[in-house]
Structure 1
């Protein structure tokens, strides 16, 4: 029995040695220098390694795309900011150009009136519309020789008159105020006298037009020059919608102001002028 066990052990040892010999032989004869076991392990690992490499490559490309989108977003934001800045600068340039044109217009008008009017240019620094008066404030006052009731104009026409004067500012009552009334004639005939008065809400009305007047829509109403307040010939507005009054003796008409009072930024104040001598107790 012992002999049988001994024989089995010898055969087992021999078989093990033979297997080891074969493994060593196959490993040493591999042209790539890899053993069978090692090649089997590597072949089994290869698909997994390819998968990992593919994932790594995909992540790298995704990261590149993400960085590209971020750069593009930053570029767009920079471009938008630049466009906004350019738009702002363009707006400022247009405003400056418009101001230069307005001031040039005032200067040209003032130069054209030398010898007839003594004019003082002023900027509008405030508006005060309310239930009683419609006024604006200018940045010139008594220090510049301004006094009450001086007419206020632009090259387009009549704006109003001064009703309050301080040292450095003055208040202008606009022609559309209900307290305003100006002696006027209708051009081109100059035979149709009347009174232009403010009716509020930015509107004017001419009253006391003679019933025989040949005035038509589109004619101009200008200052008559028969008062001591306004010089003659200053445009007030355009005649619209002439109507006969109930008494049948006079006509009235709406007057479209020559000056857009809501968009004024600068005005001219007439400090003195030459006026024709008017009959006593006539005109406003």
Structure 2
């Protein structure tokens, strides 16, 4: 499938910039995230990448990477071009053994970080990755461990999402904001899907899964999250009642966290 125009222009701009200042540095460029599932929503999606080099970047190469990313951020500030720069040996082992890497988050470059360095990225690369440059990655080159992926997802529910739920309970108005509706409802559903089926899915795929996996009482808030995700102009079932939308986001998030943690424990 051809890349969406926004993705093509951003990846082309990055590769042109880095090739001009550091020829041969980026041997492979791969996209993961929603693109790997055939899903890209220009107003909502980011461009998640992993680049591969033969050797660790030296000072000159780090400067070249910073300059190339600044060029992309200046010319095409959105969607964000976010990810990390690895060597092949990094991908061949568990993510937790990987050192800090040059990376970008929300378009901002840092020389050493861990954004995206986790089992989800490793699995997406080899099972759903989109190759822009270089050979297609295989499971002989990228470390995948389904048990580790499940454990990471279970831990994400018990740590990040449980903490976020507590914040929403204390500030319920924030739960009704469109971004929070999409992030929470589809985010926890995505993790539940992994724990229940053993496979990854996109955010919209997680919403479709939630419509079949959970009681129909939750359908309005799931459909609302999909409406926000799709950036459609369809009327909201919650128009005029933001308090009910916020309450449903909080209740749904709590329900899925509890269900996912129990599911993870049973299958762990």
TM-score, normalized by length of structure 1? 0.20
The structure where strand makes up a greater share of residues is: 1
TM-score, normalized by length of structure 2? 0.20
